[in-house]
Amino acid sequence: MIRIKSPLLRWLLIGLAISFSVGLLGLSLWLVRLDQDVRARYAGVRWVLPAQVYASPLELYPGARITVTELRRELERLGYRASDELTGPGTFALAGSELRIDTRAFAFWDGVQPEMRLAIKSDASGLSAIRAMGSDAAIDLLRLDPMLIGSIYPSHSGEDRVLVKLSEVPPLLPATLIRVEDRAFADHFGISPKGILRAAVSNLFSGRGRKQGGSTLTQQLIKNLFLSNEQSYGRKINEALMAILLERHVSKDDILEAYLNEVWLGQDGSRAIHGFGLASQFYFNKPLNELRPAEIALLVGIAKGPTVYNPRKSPERVKNRRDLVLQLMEDGGLIRDDEREAEALMPLGVLNSVTGGVERYPAFIDLVRRQIKGLYREEDLGSEGLRIFTTLDPRAQERLEARIIADLPDLEKNRQLKPGSLQAAGVVTSVEGGEVLAMVGDRNVRYPGFNRALDSRRPIGSLAKPFVYLAALADPSRYNLYSSIADEPIDLKMPNGSHWAPKNYDHKLHGNVPLHVALAKSYNLPTVRIGLDIGVDRVHDLIEAAGLQGPPRLPSMFLGAIDASPLDVAQIYSTLAASGYLTPLLAIREVMTKEGQPLSRYSFQLKQTLPEGPVYLTTWAMQKVIEFGTGRWAVSVLPAGQKFAGKTGTTDDARDSWFAGFGSDRVAVVWVGRDDNKPVGLDGAAGALRIWGRLMRDLDARGIDLTPPAGVEEAQIDPVSGLLADAGCAAQVTVPFLSGALPKDYAPCANAGQSSPLEWLKDIFR
């Protein structure tokens, strides 16, 4: 035993021993706490899983009205790759007249549709035959996987991700990640002394500038999950200790899977792209398991720092990085030499535009957010990974966008308006089922700002008129489509003493006009005359019954002093289009859990709120708007031989230009105006109608079914008198009337029946 003579030294040593013991005790206690902490925090890791929003899937069936070109376009939109032959899910090939598709499996709400290899034939009218390849079995119906159009992520963190399982990712991905980031991952215990040493030596010789990190994947995960970005020794030590502790509790595979889902791989405005699942969609618009080695190399490469390695901003730098990763793949025996060479020749393949983000269809996603708000808690939407299936039809959406992008500059040019001064919004819905198929809320269709389709409530002008005429036509004892209405000045004394003296748009008077002509030509004075006769309340009630609450109970309502958004207008016109059945417009069809379990389905709700016969007569008059009225320009673009119904809308001094109308399957509403509410010099016909007409053509909308419903009968009418015509009349038109309300008298031109064979026959059986 060594004797220490100096008492000072002895006390020093005792002190040292005590403080070492205390320190050791403290360290042990701290480690125990840290261990508990790591375990608790890791167990509590709940991935922020934003709700994923999908468009409606394209249904393919013999007879579907879609051309091969459109189908190819759809496949490309979904990220399917064209090749000479099918090479796995997500590929397609043109073989002579046949289009071959290897579809992706997808879990729909009503079951999983497996991967299918199809051969599709088409003819002039659409798809003609679908069969499974390698068999003669005809396929009646299938769905393509729906397009991911956005996610509802929490606004505070902006974290967005698509969760993946390690067992489902291509094995090349984790293997490459380990090769590049942490070669000793399988063997170390959380930290890698060799790695730290190598990094230290390397950093010593490289001097300032690019430093190598010695962090293992485990350390990186700890840092990403629990620690701040601060660079300090304290944090480094903490990170290392926590990494060692985590490895004691969690398997290597779990750590790897967590890393794959956690790592930050890019930024899209305020949205942070986390995990490889979402990054694959974000950069390549396809699922992870369809990535080729070069694409995997790119994603692994940019994990080093997505700001520096941004493939959209610095493609050269990213290509170098990717090729380096490819080289590491080859060195590690993950790919062959010739594979590396071939892959290195591939372009980056990164999409220019962001496809998966809310930035793509901001107006529609906005609608989905609002409709879902009342159904789920905000925190669940941002974190539970719900899968929301919507009604958006990407084909209709693309056409609506294309029209607004192309036509607004034309309108400005034709009217010598300042380029960029006009704004526009549009909505397309289905007639039956009330589904919102497309929505644009800004002429810059990707701009996620003010959504005019929902929030721009402007006076609807003459769009209100059909409801005045509907109120009249529902009273067959007083009105029919040929009732003569006086187009004469009106001067109304209002309760507050002021006078209201509306004028026609053309400031002319047209004498007595048939009721349907007054609507077709959008004359104001006959409309007010009818409205006053029928009563403000009746018209008010019909507009409410059609689905717009709270129009003011004032005579100015007849001429559209009603503020409404384009979506509101789509609602009330949908009720007309659906023969008087109101279906509240829906943007959501189904919601599923992240595991693919159906949670809720939203069936449309249907209620007859307007009388069918009068709606049919009103629609008949609205067809005249397009045949010879204010909407006749549309005849030049709509398919010949098909009838569409619609109405122009113009407000005072032409501040708002509206057109709303429908065929048998589509309702479309277009608004054009200025945000500062200044006159635009465009009436409904010169502005919105141009977009609407071409839009309906592009949508391949079908014309109205002209068969009268129950309670409506047609009669031959003399167009001059509006009375019954017979062989004696040179001109005759077929006009619908409510049953039992046909004109009783014959027109002056008619032979008045005495000698007609009909009368003779009637007499016999009387």
Among 224, 609, 642, 677, binds another protein (CB under 8 A): 609
85-93, 184-192, 676-684, 712-720 -> range binding another protein (CB under 8 A): 712-720
Among 418, 710, 730, 754, binds another protein (CB under 8 A): 710
Nearest residue to 457 (alpha-carbon basis) of 445, 441, 437, 439: 441
Under the binding rule (CB under 8 A), the answer on residue 731 touching another protein is: no
Distances (CA, A) of 480 to 502, 509, 618: 24, 22, 10
Closer to another protein by Cβ: residue 345 or 710? 710
137-145, 168-176, 246-254, 555-563 -> range binding another protein (CB under 8 A): 137-145
Least distance between another protein and beta carbon 619 (Å): 13
Nearest residue to 370 (alpha-carbon basis) of 441, 443, 273: 441
Among 209, 419, 497, 757, binds another protein (CB under 8 A): 757
Closer to another protein by Cβ: residue 71 or 221? 71
Among 606, 637, 720, 733, binds another protein (CB under 8 A): 606
Under the binding rule (CB under 8 A), the answer on residue 665 touching another protein is: yes
CA 195 to chain centre: 48
209-217, 346-354, 402-410, 611-619 -> range binding another protein (CB under 8 A): 611-619
Three-state DSSP class for residue 391: coil
Closer to another protein by Cβ: residue 6 or 603? 603
Q: How far apart are CA 456 and CA 427, in angstroms?
A: 13
Site for another protein in 503-562 (CB under 8 A): 545
10-18, 176-184, 528-536, 599-607 -> range binding another protein (CB under 8 A): 599-607
Q: What are phi and psi of 581, to 5 degrees?
A: -95, 120
Active-site pick, 462, 522, 574, 721: 462
| Length of the chain (residues) | 766
Active-site pick, 181, 247, 343, 401: 181
731 neighbors 719 (Cβ within 8 angstroms): yes
Closer to another protein by Cβ: residue 62 or 332? 62
Least distance between another protein and beta carbon 135 (Å): 17
164-172, 251-259, 306-314, 754-762 -> range binding another protein (CB under 8 A): 754-762
Under the binding rule (CB under 8 A), the answer on residue 141 touching another protein is: yes
Closer to another protein by Cβ: residue 359 or 544? 544
Distances (CA, A) of 623 to 632, 687, 698: 10, 19, 19
Under the binding rule (CB under 8 A), the answer on residue 396 touching another protein is: no
Taken in order 580, 586, 589, 591, the sign of the CA dihedral is negative
Least distance between another protein and beta carbon 575 (Å): 12
State the DSSP H helix or E strand holding residue 734, giving kind and residue range, or none if neither: strand 733-738
- Residues 6 or more apart whose CB falls under 8 angstroms from that of 435 comprise 56, 391, 429, 585, 586, 587, 589, 604
**What angle is formed at CA 609 by the lines to CA 607 and CA 612, rounded to 5 degrees?**
105
Closer to another protein by Cβ: residue 44 or 740? 740
Under the binding rule (CB under 8 A), the answer on residue 470 touching another protein is: no
Closer to another protein by Cβ: residue 266 or 580? 580
State the DSSP H helix or E strand holding residue 322, giving kind and residue range, or none if neither: helix 315-331
Among 158, 433, 476, 703, binds another protein (CB under 8 A): 433
Under the binding rule (CB under 8 A), the answer on residue 579 touching another protein is: yes
Under the binding rule (CB under 8 A), the answer on residue 115 touching another protein is: no
136-144, 147-155, 482-490, 507-515 -> range binding another protein (CB under 8 A): 136-144
What is the DSSP code string of 58-97?
Answer: PEE-TT----HHHHHHHHHHTTPEE-SS--STTEEEEETT
Q: How far apart are CA 640 and CA 658, in angstroms?
A: 23
Closer to another protein by Cβ: residue 310 or 608? 608
Least distance between another protein and beta carbon 753 (Å): 7
Q: What is the DSSP letter of 57?
A: P
Under the binding rule (CB under 8 A), the answer on residue 747 touching another protein is: no
Under the binding rule (CB under 8 A), the answer on residue 754 touching another protein is: no
Under the binding rule (CB under 8 A), the answer on residue 63 touching another protein is: yes
Taken in order 567, 573, 577, 579, the sign of the CA dihedral is positive
Under the binding rule (CB under 8 A), the answer on residue 599 touching another protein is: no
Among 251, 477, 603, 636, binds another protein (CB under 8 A): 603
Under the binding rule (CB under 8 A), the answer on residue 739 touching another protein is: yes
Task: Report the 3 state secondary structure along 16-51.
Answer: HHHHHHHHHHHHHHHHHHHHHHHHHHHHCCCCCECE
- Per-residue x/- marks for another protein, 182-221, CB under 8 A? ----------------------------------------
25-33, 54-62, 322-330, 548-556 -> range binding another protein (CB under 8 A): 54-62
The residue count for binding another protein (CB under 8 A) is 56
Among 345, 511, 744, 754, binds another protein (CB under 8 A): 744
Under the binding rule (CB under 8 A), the answer on residue 125 touching another protein is: no
Q: How far apart are CA 555 and CA 533, in angstroms?
A: 11
Nearest residue to 532 (alpha-carbon basis) of 558, 494, 564: 558
Under the binding rule (CB under 8 A), the answer on residue 137 touching another protein is: no
Neighbouring-strand partners of residue 724: 717, 746
| Interhelix angle 566-577/612-627, nearest 10 degrees | 110
Side-by-side strand order, sheet with 159-161: 159-161, 271-274, 264-268
Residue with tokens 């970005």: 229
Under the binding rule (CB under 8 A), the answer on residue 112 touching another protein is: no
Write the burial class of residue 603 (CB in 10 Å: 0-12 exposed, 13-18 middle, 19+ buried): exposed
448-456, 653-661, 674-682, 756-764 -> range binding another protein (CB under 8 A): 756-764
Active site residue 462: yes
Closer to another protein by Cβ: residue 121 or 632? 121
Q: What are phi and psi of 399, to 5 degrees?
A: -70, -40
Write the burial class of residue 134 (CB in 10 Å: 0-12 exposed, 13-18 middle, 19+ buried): exposed
Q: Count how many Cα atoms sit within 13 Å of the Cα of residue 303 in the half-sphere of its side chain.
A: 29
Closer to another protein by Cβ: residue 176 or 430? 430
Three-state DSSP class for residue 397: helix
Three-state DSSP class for residue 148: strand
Closer to another protein by Cβ: residue 142 or 196? 142
Nearest residue to 192 (alpha-carbon basis) of 229, 220, 171, 162: 220
55-63, 166-174, 320-328, 336-344 -> range binding another protein (CB under 8 A): 55-63
Closer to another protein by Cβ: residue 391 or 650? 391
Among 209, 232, 740, 754, binds another protein (CB under 8 A): 740
Question: Which residues are identified as catalytic?
Answer: 181, 462
**For binding to another protein (CB under 8 A), which residues are involved?**
59, 61-64, 109-110, 138, 140-141, 430-433, 435, 545, 579-581, 590, 601, 603-613, 664-665, 705, 707-711, 713-716, 724, 734, 739-740, 742, 744, 753, 757-758, 761-762, 765
